[in-house]
A and B are shown apart, each in its own frame.
Chain A
Amino acid sequence: MAKELIKGNTAVAEAGLRAGLEAYFGYPITPQTELLEHLSARMPELGRPFVQAESELGAINMVYGAACTGKRVMTSSSSPGVSLMMEGLSYIAGTEVPMVLVDVVRGGPGLGNIAPAQGDYNQIVHGGGHGDYRLIVLAPASVQEAIDLTALAFDLAEKYRAIVAILMDGSIGQMMEPAELPPMQPLKKDVPEWAVRGDRHGEKHLLTSINLDPPAQEVMNLRLMKRWQQVEKNEVRFKSYFLDDAEYVVVGFGTAGRVSLSAVRAARDKGIKVGLLRPITVAPFPNEILDNLTEEVKAFLVVEMNSGQMLEDVRLVVRGRKPVEFFGRMGGVVPFPDEVLTEIVRLVEEPRTTEGHPRDRWLSRLEKTIG
């Protein structure tokens, strides 16, 4: 199929549909709404359920119900809406039914604004809902990657009976760029053994997240965690750029990673041996490559569109063995490549330390710029 100029939100909607999405439930919120709008037309055309719910609470619980039947289901929202979905996500994780969530992140906290941000990293990667569970989190940096990851998201969700979140900032959702959509896949025919079907299949199926017996609940928790270990072993994905001879490494995901790539290229033009590690799965986090890089390079620069949320995951791996610095813009401000380039140059030229916290140093610099 030929490339076409397509908007990120629309592309993810169409990619989901072509990957065999059988039901979609959502609620309008900027900058995600085109995703819902596209499916409001396309799903009925194909005779597949589409419901605009009364709220994000309604939407996620419709997804919960439909997921219990073993169908491929999806919802999408943006930060404030995703907060409302946290209850449902915890229940869905506790019931071990697969689903795909798209979070088109905007500036926050609170109502914030509708500009691109990455402030939902902690909420999506490190929890949000109550209880012990993990989401598989995919972070695209282009419309094409968002398309490709959408199909992968359904496969991973079913493989691990887990929730897969596509964490994309508002710029990926709103941006139009040339991309190629995959061909239409047939709907999945097999019904998972565990699904509720309400037809004569011989045995009663019960899907619930309740478990009043703590030891039995703990066994369930253990099962989830062992499954997560498998995810960590099998599903780490990242993209590396100029790492072979790199002395300095920038780490960034999504749009921050993409902006950083421009900065890395500009730094290379200046003769700086810098590379980029762009996690595609921010959960599971690419610990191993980062650990290996720690042995080889002089210092790291983490770039995010938040106050340094992934920064902590990087620091956990680097463990003070090498200096880690941070640069971020918050509140829906997207950094320019030049800003990142300035930070790369600073990392190379100024004295480096493994003492203190990189966030404190960044805040004192940022204050002078935006204060």
Chain B
Amino acid sequence: MVMTDVPTRIVYERPEVFDPRVTHYCPGCTHGVAHRLVAEVLEEMGEVDNAIGVASVGCSVFIYNYFNIDFVEAAHGRAPAMATGIKRVLPESTVFTYQGDGDLASIGMGEIVGAASRGEKISVVFINNANYGMTGGQMAPTTLPGQKTTSSPKGRDVERQGYPVQTAELLSTLAGSAYVVRRSMHNPREINRAKKAIRTAFEVQKHGLGFALVELLSTCPTNWGMTPDEARSWVEERMLEYFPLGDYKVSPAVAELKF
């Protein structure tokens, strides 16, 4: 048989900005997916050589290992302040933070509210997996009522331990927020929608329209004590109820964005 040249079309490849190394994330964790979405967006927008990332403290503390762009590493919760400092002195750069729920919605609540209320022109990727992953699964500000964690062993008792923080809803009330949405990563359709939201958040920054944040419901199979598949189902069945997906703030200027 004679081999002939078959025309090929690449339908899927690793973004060049995304380092080929194996990540430190657990099997079934969606951090890697979220990273990849950010990498794809940066590349599609031609922002790779213009981007500065601000890493936070949590499981994604080493995000800078996976992106071939300039990065700084913030103290726990302070990424939005650090991003503010960078963006104010380098306004032409694309500056983004990548933060988990403990980092952003607990210890860093002051910094994220400050940045959003100032309308800071940064993009925030916010991972909500309902627990503190890096320290081994403690109760987070996002832990659901009744959810068992290593620091709420009998399940979160809202009488004693308070209620989960609905971050997207909260930040959407601030006038400086131009784009605040919640997406999920529990199935391919939602992942595609998540990517579109991340793209929008970066476009908002590029066009100088204000503060942009995408909250991403994420899995944590290891600390939830589930298989990856069970974890995806848990997002769908439990988290969506308390954290409804949706567009919580889309300013008129953002609504008119075309890209």
Contacts and interface: CB of A to CB of B under 8 A. Distances in A.
A355 interface: no
B111 A51 contact: no
Contacts of A62: 81-82, 84-85, 88
A89 to B, nearest CB: 11
Contacts of A337: none
B64 interface: yes
B78 interface: yes
B111 A58 contact: yes
B89 A69 contact: yes
Interface stretch (B67-75, B140-148, B153-161): B67-75
Contacts of A66: 85-86, 88-89
B72 A196 contact: yes
A67 B85 contact: yes
Interface in B83-119: 83-90, 93-95, 110-111, 113-114, 117-118
A53 B89 contact: no
B64 A206 contact: yes
Q: Which of B51, B94, B110, B113 gathers most chain A CB within 10 Å?
A: B110
A61 interface: yes
Interface stretch (A207-215, A272-280, A320-328): A207-215
B151 interface: no
A350 B49 CA distance: 73
Interface in B37-84: 49-52, 54-55, 61, 64, 68-75, 78, 81-84
Given A91-B75, A198-B93, A61 B50 contact: no
A161 B55 CA distance: 22
Given A66-B85, A71-B89, A199 B111 contact: no
Interface in A27-77: 49, 51, 53-55, 57-69, 71, 73
A57 B75 CA distance: 10
B81 A57 contact: yes
Interface residues of A, number: 39
A157 to B, nearest CB: 16
Contacts of A206: 64, 70-73
A3 interface: no
Given A57-B111, A198-B70, A51 B84 contact: yes
B111 A61 contact: yes
Interface string A86-110: 0110010001000000000000000
Contacts, number: 132
B85 A65 contact: yes
Nearest to B84: A62
Contact of B73 (A71, A88, A209): A209
Interface string A1-42: 000000000000000000000110100000000000000000
Contacts of A95: 72-73
Interface centre among B72, B74, B94, B118 (most CB of A within 10 A): B72
User: Which 7 residue pairs are nearest across A and B when measured between Cβ atoms?
Assistant: A65-B85, A54-B114, A61-B81, A208-B73, A65-B82, A198-B93, A66-B85
Given A198-B93, A204-B68, 20 more contacts: A23-B88, A54-B110, A54-B114, A59-B81, A62-B85, A64-B74, A64-B75, A64-B81, A65-B86, A65-B87, A88-B75, A91-B75, A196-B52, A196-B71, A196-B86, A198-B69, A198-B70, A198-B95, A204-B69, A208-B64
Interface of A: 22-23, 25, 49, 51, 53-55, 57-69, 71, 73, 87-88, 91, 95, 196-200, 204-210
Interface of B: 49-52, 54-55, 61, 64, 68-75, 78, 81-90, 93-95, 110-111, 113-114, 117-118
